[in-house]
Every structure is written in structure tokens, then in C-alpha cells.
Structure 1
Amino acid sequence: MASDLVIRSGLPGWIIQALRSSGLRRLGTVARLSDQEILSIPGIGRRALEIIRVELQGWTGGATAGHYAVDEQIME
């Protein structure tokens, strides 16, 4: 079973640092956040959100794909 630790993910270091600085240590926790909640994290913008969602799709086998499609309207 793959680890869900943010630090062991394929996310860039600057995103990992921003997530961990906000107390987020696990991808499972990040996956449950809305796009607006993720965007409220200092250092996380629209591009970082896109990178996070792509990483989460790979990690969950695409389980967040529907969530991303709904919240994509926010990014427009």
C-alpha cells in the first residue's frame, strides 16, 4: 500500500512545504478539502491547486476527478 504522506508524494517541494506549514501531513486529508479551502492555504494559488488535484487523481485512482470537475468553475 502506498503511503499517503504529503512528503512522500510526487508534489513539488514548495507545495509540500506550504501544505505541511499549514498542518497538512496526509494526502487523504488534502483530498477531503474543497478547492476554496486549499486556495486559502498561504503559498497555494491556482496553479498549485491544479498540481495538487492531478496528484490526488493519481493517488486515488481518479476518485477526486468528479470533485475537480465541479470545482473547476471556481478557477475560471
Structure 2
Amino acid sequence: MAELIRTNDVALISVVEALLGEAGIPYQVTDRTMSVLEGTIPVIVPRILVADDREAEARELMVDAELGEWLRA
């Protein structure tokens, strides 16, 4: 799995989930529950992961949606 985005911004996570879901790109949001339990401390940040073979497609989708600035290197 490749890390696409790492953020505490729940609105951004929702938008990215919607975009990936509509495009049929499988994804996983990790550490969502822990960040809520611990309250958005910077140590535990939710990450959006996509399958390695769909990473390029997911990155292109984020850039097209003007979310490229959020992409992890």
C-alpha cells in the first residue's frame, strides 16, 4: 500500500474518500479511530493508503481535483 495523504482534516479525508470511491480505486484510512480517541494530536495522524498498482491513478485524480498540495512525496 502507498501513502497518498496524511492529515487530521476530516473534511479533506471525506472528499478524498468520495473521489477514490467514485473512481473505483480501493483505499484504506488508517489511524482514524486513534486520532479521534486521542484528539488530533500530531503524533497520530490518519493516513489514506491506496494499492501500489493504483497509486499513479490516485495521484492523478487528486491533482485533477486540485488537491495535489496534500499528496505525500
TM-score range relative to shorter protein:
0.3 to 0.5
Higher strand share goes to which structure?
2
Structure number with greater CO (CA < 8 Å, separation at least 6) is: 2
Higher helix share goes to which structure?
1
